[in-house]
Structure 1
């Protein structure tokens, strides 16, 4: 796997890469390939490979932060734990909210021990808050493009919150309708991240382009600003090269 071509940001403390959808960040109990297997490509002269500062779900794409050494990882860990890192996600959901924006305040807990990391709304669970706003809709409101801003960092938080609101994320095999063989991939993308890594410097701001598998649904929702138009063009070029 070529991670050099997916590098979005590099400095002396950290890296941000554009994680591809469908690849786990680390090796699971059943083995198999993972992003960590390719981290040696990102040493850039340091004696050790970088390490994960957080994680994204296997089927989620976008901004993934790596610490380049132990002190950087300690700093990043405190920032993530303290909720000081700003994260923005894009998702195409099935159905559409009645409002244009809002906040979901719904505690989450483990579904059951046998389901591993699967989560569910649970009044006795951990507090979980997610802000959202609609960026576009299809004319028949069967799909909507939503920007999610999680204020807490629970496992599967956006996916469970979206399902609980009645508009699950398109292609979600766990919390949505993405269990069929002809279902599309999960339409959830970690669009941007803001990291106040050093108090004496402005925060590091990084944005990842939308993945090719989400572009058509995003365009169908009517969100075709200059950036998306450029991504659509780039996606078409990639599709042409890979056909």
Structure 2
């Protein structure tokens, strides 16, 4: 397993609380604040995280998917092994629909499209990732321009990851020439400095309830 930035760096945990968006006997849907790990990091100072906070109230909560430290938004947390297994299979089958909202530098040339660029760990710049045609794993992101602010030269974009590679949305948008505001890992310094946080938020998720088989969908608007 390659080291991630969440293993290597001390990442101060946000004091902003998580929000419960949905709760029943077998699962939770929560809204994670930015600047909070989903699970504990390897660094001893990175033990405060979303799942540990949730487990104080819901001791059996488990993680089935993650958001980066810098990313806010929706996460599904199973409360039983059966539900964990079922939702894991939905993710593996790519039947869970998710989309994100991001603020990026510049104006997109096309209003919508698919970014299909393989991604691999950047051995020369760990813990970063890069587009790599030779060793990269297949990676696809659907994108759609939502609005453009000409005064700031910034675009609001909806992003739907077809695959779920590490840092996929950041690297794919960078490859298009549109770095995310507040991205201290990939954006040029002037773009990174335009926001105190990464402007990336997991806004929408849809999946099938493991017991009732009802289709559940949730939206939490981006806080930016």
1:179/1:24 CA distance change after superposition, 3 Å = farther
1:109 and 1:12 map into 2 onto residues whose CA distance is 39
Unpaired stretches in structure 1, ≥5 consecutive residues: 215-243
Q: After the TM superposition, which residues 106-145 of structure 1 pair with which residues of structure 2 at under 5 Å, given as runs?
A: 106-112=117-123, 115-116=126-127, 118-124=128-134, 125-140=136-151, 142-145=153-156
| Equivalent in the alignment of 2:111 | 100
Deviation at 1:49, TM superposition (A): 2.5
TM-score, normalized by length of structure 1? 0.78
Stretch deviating more after TM superposition (82-91 or 139-148): 139-148
The one of 81, 91, 97 aligned to 2:92: 81
Q: Give per-residue Cα distances to partners, 1:114-134, cap 9 Å, x unaligned.
A: 613x21101131111110111
| CA-atom RMSD in angstroms | 2.2
1:136 and 1:51, CA in 2 relative to 1: closer, same or farther beyond 3 A? Answer: same
What residue in structure 1 maps to residue 30 of structure 2?
17
For each residue in 1:98-152, what CA deviation from the matched residue of structure 2 results, as whole angstroms up to 9, or x when unmatched?
1111110111111118613x21101131111110111100124710000001111
Aligned residues: 206
Q: Give the Cα separation in 1 of the matches to 2:124 and 2:82.
A: 34
3-state SS of paired residue (2:99): strand
Match of 1:160 in 2: 171
SS, match of residue 134 in structure 1: strand
Find the aligned partners of 2:66 and 2:183 in 1 and give their Cα distance.
Answer: 18
Q: Secondary structure at the match of 1:152?
A: coil
Q: Distance in 2 between matches of 1:180 and 1:102?
A: 23
Does 2:221 match 1:206? Answer: no
Distance change >3 Å, CA 181–CA 161, structure 1 → 2: closer
Which of 9, 13, 20 lines up with 1:7 in the alignment?
20
Instruction: Spell out, residue by residue over 1:194-221, the C-alpha distance to the aligned partner (whole angstroms, 9 max, x if none).
Output: 012348633110112322xx2xxxxxxx
Distance of aligned partners of 1:149 and 1:180 in 2 relative to their CA distance in 1, 3 Å threshold: closer
Kindly indicate whether residue 61 of structure 2 is the aligned counterpart of residue 35 of structure 1.
Answer: no
Quote the Cα distance in structure 2 between the aligned partners of 1:76 and 1:157. Answer: 21
The answer to whether 1:171 aligns with 2:170 is no
Q: Deviations over 1:152-201 (max 9, x none)?
A: 11111101000000001111111113589954110000001001234863
1 CA distance for matches of 2:179 and 2:151? 17
Alpha-carbon distance, 1:61 to partner: 0.3
Q: Deviations over 1:28-70 (max 9, x none)?
A: 1213321122122442xxxx43011110000100001111011
Scaled by the length of structure 2, the TM-score of the pair is: 0.84
